[in-house]
């Protein structure tokens, strides 16, 4: 990163749409730079190929640099270090003295909580679970028993980790619930949004790989293994025992059937349905999900279908007229 131009006071970072006086504005194109200049910003954060008369921070990756700027201005309130007087903590739990345990938190037997962990109000942590250092649980988050949460994990409000998986066997009269006695393992640097569910495995573990990022309202079924660096957008649902390869991307509302597998660096576009194994390093769309190149040909053919129907009908009518002569 390189700074150019005179010194200026920065009041806050901004995007173009909320830019104003005193702002350091992210401008990823000449168009956005002109709009920011017109808004009277103090300086721009941009790339080498965007010119401006304003003071500027130049970065080869301006969006990534802007994330660092936002972190400098992030002053959200936190939980005070220590254990709140209203928290219910088992005597057998081990809590690092630098951890912060908020109001009305329940921590069961033999839980281990590492250095710098923040547990917000109303959370529940079940017996035998482990939270690694610098991890944060948002308000109302639930971690059931015997789950392993790594370091620097972020779990947002009301997400549930380690609930019973969805599994039943029919005995001829009723659906008998199958016990799920496994666990959930969430590796380091994972982020999980609000109102998500990650179910425990029948045996073994449901695993969320290191560095994966999960949006709000995502369902991860029992025994699913998600490779490192994977992105799951809102309302994705993954059936039990499915394997998702490393650095894959599932866009919003993608559904994945149980007992399937996606290779590394698979991309599935929004609202697609995956019902069978997919090769890695490809992009897929539609239901059932097909490679984008194939699906585009299918969609192109569908747009011609009404005309083809008319032509077929015309041919049929012509044939009938010939027979009647």
Confidence label for 6 from pLDDT (cuts 50, 70 and 90): confident
Q: What average pLDDT does range 281-298 have in this prediction?
A: 96
Model confidence at 324, in pLDDT bands (50, 70, 90)?
A: low
* Catalytic (active-site) positions: 222
Q: What is the pTM of this model?
A: 0.92
* pLDDT at site 24: 98
| Number of other CB atoms surrounding residue 312 within 10 Å | 10
What percent of the chain stands above pLDDT 70? 98
**3-class DSSP string for 71-105:** HHCCCCCCCCCEECCCCEECCCCEECCCCEECCCC
How far is C-alpha 250 from the chain's CA centre? 9
- Ordered domains of the chain (ranges, CATH): 2-72 (3.40.1390.10), 82-290 (2.160.10.10)
Residue found by looking up tokens 């090769």 in the block: 279
pLDDT average, residue stretch 286-309: 94
Reported as a pLDDT band with limits 50, 70 and 90, residue 153 is very high
| CA 100 vs CA 79, 92, 159, 221: distances in Å | 6, 17, 19, 30
Token pair in block for residue 120: 């917000």
């Amino acid at each position: 990163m390189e700074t150019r131009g005179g010194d200026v006071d920065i009041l806050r970072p901004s995007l173009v749409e909320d830019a104003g006086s005193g702002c350091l504005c992210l401008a990823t194109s000449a168009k956005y730079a002109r709009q920011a200049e017109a808004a009277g910003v103090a300086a721009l954060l941009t790339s080498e190929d965007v010119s401006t008369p304003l003071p500027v921070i130049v970065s080869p990756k301006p969006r990534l640099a802007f994330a660092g700027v936002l972190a400098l201005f992030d002053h959200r309130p936190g939980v005070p270090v220590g254990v709140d007087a209203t928290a219910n903590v088992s005597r057998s739990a081990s809590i690092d003295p630098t951890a912060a345990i908020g109001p009305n938190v329940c921590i069961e037997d033999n839980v281990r909580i590492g250095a710098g962990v923040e547990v917000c109000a109303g959370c529940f942590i079940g017996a035998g679970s482990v939270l690694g250092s610098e991890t944060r649980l948002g308000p109302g988050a639930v971690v059931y028993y015997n789950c392993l949460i790594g370091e620097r994990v972020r779990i947002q409000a009301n997400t549930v980790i380690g609930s019973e998986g969805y599994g039943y066997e029919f005995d001829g009269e009723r659906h008998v619930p199958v016990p799920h006695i496994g666990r959930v393992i969430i590796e380091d640097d994972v982020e999980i949004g609000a109102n998500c569910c990650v179910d425990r495995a029948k045996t073994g573990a449901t695993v969320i790989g290191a560095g994966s990022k999960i949006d709000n309202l995502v369902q991860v079924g029992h025994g699913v293994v998600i490779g490192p660096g994977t992105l799951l957008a809102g309302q994705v649902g993954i059936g039990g025992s499915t394997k998702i390869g490393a650095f894959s991307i599932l866009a919003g509302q993608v559904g994945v059937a149980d007992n399937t597998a996606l290779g590394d660096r698979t991309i599935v576009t929004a609202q697609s349905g995956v019902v069978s194994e997919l090769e890695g390093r490809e992009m897929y769309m539609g239901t059932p999900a097909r490679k984008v190149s194939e699906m585009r040909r299918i969609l192109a053919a569908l747009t011609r279908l009404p005309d083809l129907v008319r032509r077929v009908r015309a041919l049929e009518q012509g044939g009938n007229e010939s027979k009647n002569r």
